């Protein structure tokens, strides 16, 4: 259902951001702003800032930020519309909802609410069976007690038992006047297509309710307790309006706060693994609900932390079969690590054998980055077989090629070359070849929408040239602008005008191509919004190790700088940089604008060359002509500026 723009604006204006956030953390006033330790991650000194005038918040430790709506989404783990309803209720605002497909949306919402009611009924029924029936206590509860589960853990996870009857749940549902069709849609009962008789799906099994992030029951997993070889050990609810298995994680509701505090999530395989970890005090643990890891599940973890650790038992065959998950996590931009329990142990057996504190210590001391983990898996085979070693390197390079951040890729390549005792240059060359090949492939239609170039194969020589241009000229120009911003942004020029403000004024029409540099610029701008004086020392001690290394590198006086493109030595440029920062900055910005413009022109030419028939050919040619005129003017201006040095 669509909420009107007017209602959203009304919510934004009514929201008291300081009051709202103050309900979750102890804010203290500092100048025009407020600050506290972050409610999303554990920290000792406050890095969480609130700007009430602009209605925004930002944590400069974990990166969380936004307005009142995004805060509710993050802190309560709600979707966008759900957060709007939450705030509307809080501030007594009546929502205006769009009439577009209103009846269809209302019907869908009504069915979801009805399904939720029968799910709640089933959960109550299964829980009562476990503790209030002789069958439940003697079979279901005995099983959980034999597994060593405490009563508080059984209660926390809502564990239950389905009576070993064909229609035990059906009979109780009829007494409560629940619609059999809804029970079937919820996956609680099954219908025999030949006899048209219905029966309970989970009969004779212990039940594990699967909750959404708001704590509502959306599905069940169930484990067989007998030895019937014709039946699977575990079965799950089918998908429904409530349950999308590719976007659900078992235990997330119970784990969400622990994940925020630890700023890390363990992902394990089964329901009992999650429960055992929680009982052992490792509460930041979830499982993928009986499915292979999906992009939707990774995004769900990403709402709580950017750090995901895969937890495996000692089964090597099982580990190798699930390695695809590492690539998915890396491609999604999360930091992935892995830890393997000793052979023959899962979290439950390890905690029982050695104790909860020993399990926690083992996890902390044996967690590896994905490169060391993959290399370790293949170590025995690779040592005696050069082909296996090549396959292992190939697999690791494939994963690294999915990393979007250039600096992270560089760090990973260094680590991989050390582990395999391979030339870093050779591995980098192989990695770049992979990236080129990925770029050469036609993009899916969904990725073509904003592309200047049609989805055709670009000659490798052209692609390599463009890649190298970006790697040298555009990257170095962006890097130099950021270097000046960090070293001199806090200084003033005419009439106490901050150089940083001058930078952002000039960059208004420029989109940085380099993610890490773009991130630095955005953080600088955000901190200015909160009234901070941005001196270089802040970045020299940045909490993000990769960004810190980038800044230290770019600010080193021994680095060859961008003025090589203007035929000046670094020594000359360094003196000029101190004497006239604004001119130096302006020349680099003009250079960057020119280089971006040249790339746009090249893309338009490729568009003309790559299609046999282009309906708007004259429009494309006219656009090229206009951009060339601008490029000429930029060249004149650039020449004038450089002559002033």
Tokens linked to 346 = 């899962």
pLDDT of residue 459: 43
**Rounded Cα distance, 426 and 419, in Å:** 14
In sequence order, the 6+-apart residues with CB closer than 8 A to the CB of 554 are 479, 480, 482, 483, 486
Phi, psi for residue 261 in degrees, rounded to 5: -65, -45
Query: 63 and 197, same structural domain?
Result: no
Residue 404, Cβ density class (10 Å: 0-12 exposed, 13-18 middle, ≥19 buried)? exposed
Q: Is residue 373 part of a domain?
A: no
- Domain stops at, among 336, 366, 396: 366
**Rounded Cα distance, 489 and 585, in Å:** 11
Phi, psi for residue 104 in degrees, rounded to 5: -65, -40
Query: 415 and 351, same structural domain?
Result: no
Q: Please give the average pLDDT of every successive group of 10 residues along the chain, which has 645 residues.
A: 76 88 85 85 80 82 83 82 87 74 62 91 97 96 95 96 94 93 94 85 96 90 86 92 91 90 91 94 89 86 88 76 84 90 87 88 92 79 75 89 82 89 88 74 39 36 43 78 83 74 79 83 82 71 69 56 39 45 75 82 76 64 80 73 53
Q: Is residue 417 part of a domain?
A: yes
Question: Could you count the other beta carbons within 10 Å of the beta carbon of residue 438?
Answer: 10
Q: Is residue 325 part of a domain?
A: yes
**Rounded Cα distance, 543 and 531, in Å:** 20
Q: Is residue 513 part of a domain?
A: yes
pLDDT of residue 239: 92
Query: 385 and 346, same structural domain?
Result: no
Residues 276 and 351 sit within 8 Å (Cβ to Cβ)? yes
Q: Is residue 99 part of a domain?
A: no
Query: 24 and 157, same structural domain?
Result: no
Q: Is residue 103 part of a domain?
A: no
In this structure, what CATH number is given to the domain that contains residue 20?
A: 3.90.580.10
| Range of the structural domain that residue 613 is part of | 460-643
- Going by C-alpha positions, the residue among 405, 408, 402 that lies closest to residue 328 is 402
Query: 513 and 464, same structural domain?
Result: yes
Query: 570 and 496, same structural domain?
Result: yes
Query: 292 and 410, same structural domain?
Result: no
- Domain stops at, among 346, 366, 386: 366
Sort residue 155 into left (φ over 0), alpha (ψ -120 to 50) or beta: alpha
Residues 209 and 123 sit within 8 Å (Cβ to Cβ)? yes
**Rounded Cα distance, 407 and 475, in Å:** 12
pLDDT of residue 24: 82
Please calculate the CA angle 414-420-426 and round it to the nearest 5 degrees: 60
Helix ranges (H only) for 303-445 are 316-321, 324-331, 347-354, 356-366, 370-384, 386-400, 406-420, 424-440
Query: 342 and 239, same structural domain?
Result: no
Write out the H or E segment, with its range, that includes residue 160.
strand 160-162
**Rounded Cα distance, 240 and 219, in Å:** 9
pLDDT of residue 115: 93
Query: 599 and 482, same structural domain?
Result: yes
Give whole-number Cα distances, 296 to 97, 240, 291, in Å: 28, 16, 12
Instruction: Return the C-alpha torsion angle 576, 578, 584, 589, nearest 10.
Output: 150
Q: Is residue 570 part of a domain?
A: yes
Query: 610 and 479, same structural domain?
Result: yes
Q: Is residue 404 part of a domain?
A: yes
Give whole-number Cα distances, 349 to 46, 353, 475, 498, in Å: 40, 6, 52, 61
- Domain stops at, among 366, 398, 423: 366
pLDDT of residue 488: 81
Residues 51 and 530 sit within 8 Å (Cβ to Cβ)? yes
Query: 191 and 269, same structural domain?
Result: no
Residues 403 and 431 sit within 8 Å (Cβ to Cβ)? no
Residues 182 and 215 sit within 8 Å (Cβ to Cβ)? no
Phi, psi for residue 239 in degrees, rounded to 5: -70, 150
pLDDT of residue 382: 65
In this structure, what CATH number is given to the domain that contains residue 318?
A: 3.40.1360.10
Pair type for strands 307-312 and 492-493: unpaired
**pTM score:** 0.60
In sequence order, the 6+-apart residues with CB closer than 8 A to the CB of 127 are 158, 159, 160
If one counts the domains in the chain, the total is 5
Query: 56 and 32, same structural domain?
Result: yes
């Amino acid at each position: 259902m669509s909420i009107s723009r007017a209602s959203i604006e009304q919510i934004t204006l009514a929201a008291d951001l300081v009051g709202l956030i103050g309900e979750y953390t102890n804010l203290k006033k500092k100048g025009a702003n407020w600050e506290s330790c972050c409610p999303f991650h554990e920290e000792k000194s406050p890095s969480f800032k609130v700007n009430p005038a602009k209605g925004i918040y930002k944590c400069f430790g974990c990166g969380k930020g936004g307005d009142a709506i995004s805060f509710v989404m993050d802190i309560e783990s709600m979707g966008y519309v759900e957060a709007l309803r939450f705030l509307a209720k809080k501030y007594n605002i009546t929502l205006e909802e769009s009439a577009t497909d209103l009846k269809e949306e209302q019907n869908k919402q009504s069915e979801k609410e009805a399904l939720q009611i029968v799910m709640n009924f089933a959960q109550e029924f299964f829980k009562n069976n476990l503790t209030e029936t002789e069958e439940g206590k003697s079979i279901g509860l005995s099983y959980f007690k034999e597994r060593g589960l405490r009563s508080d853990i059984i209660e926390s996870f809502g564990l239950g038992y389905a009576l070993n009857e064909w229609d035990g749940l059906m009979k109780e549902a009829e007494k409560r006047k629940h619609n059999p069709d809804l029970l079937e849609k919820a996956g609680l009962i099954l219908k025999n297509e030949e006899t048209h008789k219905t029966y309970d799906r989970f009969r004779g099994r212990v039940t594990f309710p699967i909750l959404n992030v708001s704590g509502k029951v959306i599905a069940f997993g169930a484990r067989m307790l007998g030895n019937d070889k014709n039946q699977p050990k575990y079965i799950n609810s089918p998908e429904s309006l409530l349950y999308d298995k590719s976007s659900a994680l078992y235990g997330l509701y119970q784990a969400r706060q622990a994940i925020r505090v630890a700023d890390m999530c363990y992902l394990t395989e089964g329901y009992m693994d999650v429960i055992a970890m929680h009982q052992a005090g490792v509460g930041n643990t979830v499982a993928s609900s009986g499915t292979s890891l999906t992009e939707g599940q990774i995004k769900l973890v990403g709402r709580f932390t950017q750090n995901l650790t895969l937890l495996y038992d000692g089964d090597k065959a099982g580990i190798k079969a699930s390695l695809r998950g590492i690539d998915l996590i890396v491609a999604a931009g999360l930091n992935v690590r892995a830890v393997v329990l000793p052979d023959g142990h899962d979290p439950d057996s390890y905690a029982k054998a050695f104790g909860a504190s020993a399990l926690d210590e083992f996890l902390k001391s044996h967690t590896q980055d994905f490169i060391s983990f993959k290399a370790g898996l293949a170590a025995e085979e690779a040592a005696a077989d050069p082909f296996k070693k090549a396959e292992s390197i190939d697999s690791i390079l494939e994963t690294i090629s999915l990393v979007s951040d250039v600096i992270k890729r560089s760090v990973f390549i260094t680590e991989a070359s050390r582990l395999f005792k391979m030339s870093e240059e050779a591995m980098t060359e192989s990695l770049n070849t992979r990236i080129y090949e990925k770029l050469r492939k036609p993009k899916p239609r969904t990725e073509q929408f904003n592309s200047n170039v049609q989805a055709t194969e670009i000659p490798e020589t052209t692609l390599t040239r463009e890649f190298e241009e970006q790697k040298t000229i555009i990257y170095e120009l962006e890097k130099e602008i950021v270097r000046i911003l960090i070293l001199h942004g806090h200084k003033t020029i005419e009439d106490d005008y901050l150089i940083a403000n001058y930078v952002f004024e000039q960059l208004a029409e420029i989109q940085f191509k380099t993610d890490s540099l773009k991130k630095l610029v955005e953080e600088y701008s955000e901190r200015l919004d909160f009234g901070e004086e941005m001196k270089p020392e802040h970045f020299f001690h940045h909490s993000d190790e990769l960004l810190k290394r980038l800044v230290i590198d770019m600010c080193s006086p021994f680095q060859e700088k961008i003025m090589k493109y203007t035929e000046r030595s670094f020594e000359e440029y360094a003196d000029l940089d101190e004497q006239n920062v604004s001119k130096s900055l302006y020349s680099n910005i003009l250079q960057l604008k020119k280089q971006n413009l040249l790339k746009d022109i090249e893309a338009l030419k490729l568009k003309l060359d790559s299609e046999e028939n282009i309906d708007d050919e004259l429009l494309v040619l006219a656009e090229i002509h206009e951009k060339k005129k601008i490029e000429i003017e930029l060249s004149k201006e650039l020449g004038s500026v450089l002559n002033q040095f």
